[in-house]
Homo-oligomer: A and B are copies of this chain.
Amino acid sequence: MTKNLETGMRPRTIRFENAYFSEGFSIVGPKELRGKLGDRFDFALLNDRFDQKTFEKAERKMFETAIDGVVSKSKLLPIDVDAILGGDLLNQIISASYSARKSPASFLGLYNACGTYAESLLIGAAMVNKYYKNVVCLSGSHFSSAERQYRYPLELGVLRSPMTQWTCTGVGATLLTDTEIRPNSPRVTAGTAGRVIDFGIKDVNNMGAAMAPAACDTLRQFFADTGKTVDDYDLILTGDLGKLGKEILMDLAAQEGIDLSKNYADCGAALYFERQKTYQGGSGAACSAIVTNSIILDSLRDGSMKNVLLIGTGALMSPVSAFQGESIAAIAHLVEITGNVDESPVEVENNEDFKSEENK
């Protein structure tokens, strides 16, 4: 990897030949079920507790269900999985760690906040492309456990600010394999791990603004490394910038000569209806994971999309760093997912969710 003479930037994009996106599984909470993509998910909780005594235990049970679900759907056995890669938003990523206890696979714990799913896909693709046969990549979050840990316990009934996003409840899991075990599987073909970017934003209720510069930085890096442009993709998809963050990214990208007006969507902005009062939309480590493992995977399989750039965004602060006066450091990891379809594309109606979801 040598420097790009035109931009002076050192390439940071890596490529994969044999990383098949063989299966996806998504489990969501009741609010997500009633949202725009409700009929696209594999499994939904009827209540936030999932029959557990605490929200944290419910979150873990979602992780266990997602691991079992993605392995069962792909007709593999738990013993066939070499490693589980993932994380969540709880301190010490206990949801992911404890869920892996039930599996005979190796576990690699990851944390890049809401960018964890993209991070797991990037490292997971690197591992199956060269070392492992089958890995599960996953990430998730739970609204109620996140509120308790990061903000206020729900019982306090604190009013939310209009700039906030709604930490979505769910887990998305992907089975990556080194060979095509199901026809028409998309592949993870490239990845750009992001840098930590801090624009000095301190408002923890406005994380979209903190994360948008990181998303812009990684996207610019990827285009510089590969020579590709926006027009080479059916969809550019950020994780959870929300509606405001999405506008900010479009402005920042325009300054870099990247026109995101045509084929750009944000998972967070696409999840809920306006009447659900999530204000800026969804967020959380589940956000990009549940969207990618449902409608995006379906669209890549049926040929209605041929290639997608997923940019998982994460805000890396903690309550302690915020109390100590730190601004919000952010990161964005990019993965290129390429469809592997022979027949001509089929027009699918729900696809429109991702080209104009904010107009609905």
Q: Chain A residues in contact with chain B, CB under 8 A?
A: 1, 10, 12, 14, 53-54, 56-57, 79-80, 82-83, 87, 90-94, 97-98, 100-101, 103-113, 119, 122-123, 126-127, 129-133, 149, 192-198, 316-321, 324, 326, 329, 331
Known: A56-B324, A132-B1. A196 touches B100 (CB 8 A): yes
B82 and A1 contact, CB distance less than 8 A:
yes
Protomer copies: 2
From A82, A100, A111, name the one whose CB has the most chain B CB atoms within 10 angstroms. Answer: A111
CA distance A132 to B12 in the complex (A): 8
B123 and A108 contact, CB distance less than 8 A:
yes
Among the listed B103, B126, B198, which residue makes an inter-chain contact with A101, where contact means beta carbons less than 8 Å apart? B198
Which residues of chain B are near A103, meaning CB under 8 Å? 195-196
Closest to A92 in B: B318
Q: How far is the CB of A109 from chain B (nearest CB, A)?
A: 5
Which residues of chain B are near A90, meaning CB under 8 Å? 318, 320
From A10, A92, A110, A193, name the one whose CB has the most chain B CB atoms within 10 angstroms. Answer: A92
Which residues of chain B are near A132, meaning CB under 8 Å? 1, 14
Q: Is the interface of A mostly helix, strand, loop or mixed?
A: mixed
Closest to A221 in B: B106
Closest to A15 in B: B131
Q: How far is the CB of A9 from chain B (nearest CB, A)?
A: 9
Which residues of chain B are near A192, meaning CB under 8 Å? 106
Known: A56-B324, A94-B321. A79 touches B10 (CB 8 A): yes
From A101, A126, A196, name the one whose CB has the most chain B CB atoms within 10 angstroms. Answer: A196
Q: How far is the CB of A113 from chain B (nearest CB, A)?
A: 7
Among the listed B83, B101, B104, B129, which residue makes an inter-chain contact with A193, where contact means beta carbons less than 8 Å apart? B83
Closest to A3 in B: B79
Q: How far is the CB of A329 from chain B (nearest CB, A)?
A: 5
Closest to A57 in B: B324
